[in-house]
Amino acid sequence: MGNGMSLLIFTSIAAQFPTSLGAIWTSQGPGTFFLVLVVGLLTVALVVFVEQSQRRIPVQYAKRMIGRRTVGGTSTYIPIKVNMAGVIPVIFASSMLYIPGLLAQFNQPRNGEPMQPWVEWINNNLTRGDHPIYMAVYFLLIVFFTYFYVAITFNPEEVSDNMKKYGGFIPGIRAGRPTADYLQYVLSRITLPGALYLGIVALIPLVALVLINANQNFPFGGTSILIMVGVGLETVKQIDAQLQQRHYEGLLR
C-alpha cells in the first residue's frame, strides 16, 4: 500500500513537526505559535485544493463499425491538473540557486587579495534566504521550471494525434492541428496559476525566516508540505481503490 520510499520521506518530515513547533513556542511565545498553526492549516488546505484541482477537457469518440459490432460513441475527458509538475520545479530552482554560491566559494580571495565584485555581490545577495533578491530569483526560477517541466511531459501534438487515430475529438474543435493548438492554449493558461502557487508555497519558509526568525526547517511550506500532502493524497486514493475493489464502498461514503 503506497510507495515505500515516499512513505519513509513522509514519516521523516512529519517527525520534525513537533520539534519545529516546539522551538517556535519556546522562542516566540504562544501568540506566534498559534498564528503559525493557523497559517499552516490554511497552507495545507490550499495545497490539497490545488493538488486535487484539474481542468477536464471533454472528448467524444465517434461510432465505428468493426465487423457487425458498433464501437465508440463514448464520452470521456482529458484531465489537466493545475499543478502538473509537482515538486520538481522547486527542487530544480533550489539546485540552480546553489550554483552561484558554489562558484563564489571557489573564487574566494587568498593571501590578502581583494574580493572580486561579482563574488561579493553573490555573497551578499544570493546566499541568504532572507534577502529579497534571493526570494525574487527563487520565485522566477520556479515559474520558469514549471513551464519547462510541463512542456516536456505533456505533448499536445502527440495527444491530438492519438485522439485522431482512435476517432476522438473535442466538441467544437476540429481534429488535428486545431486540437493541438487548443490543448496548448489551455495548458499554458492553467500552468500559470500552478506556477504561482508553487512559488508562493516555496517562499513560505523564507518569509517565516524574516518575520519570526524561524529556521530553514520551518514545517509549513516548501518541499516538505508538498511532499507530505502529495504522498498522503496518493495513499488515501490507493486505500480507497482497494476498499472499493473488495467491499464496493470507499474510504469515505
Task: Give the model confidence (pLDDT) of 134-148 as tens digits.
Answer: 888 999 999 999 999
Contact (CB, 8 A) for 58 and 165: no
Q: What's residue 227's pLDDT? A: 81
Which CATH number among 3.30.300.130, 3.40.50.11310, 3.40.190.150, 1.10.3370.10 corresponds to the domain 4-228? 1.10.3370.10
Q: How far is the C-alpha of 127 from the C-alpha of 222, rounded, in Å? A: 17
Q: Where are the domains of the chain?
A: 4-228
Residue 169 pairs in a beta bridge with 60
Identify the band that residue 71 occupies on the pLDDT scale cut at 50, 70 and 90: low
Q: What's residue 146's pLDDT? A: 92
Least confident of 35-49, 88-102, 188-202, 216-230: 216-230
> Looking at per-residue confidence, does 250 or 191 come out higher?
191
Hey, what's the cell of 236?
Answer: 488515501
Contact (CB, 8 A) for 71 and 63: yes
Q: In this structure, which amino acid lies at residue 107?
A: N
Checking if the pLDDT of 125 tops 90, the result is no
Q: Taking residues 40-50, what's their average pLDDT?
A: 86
Q: What's residue 232's pLDDT? A: 81
Identify the band that residue 251 occupies on the pLDDT scale cut at 50, 70 and 90: low
Q: Taking residues 205-226, what's their average pLDDT?
A: 70
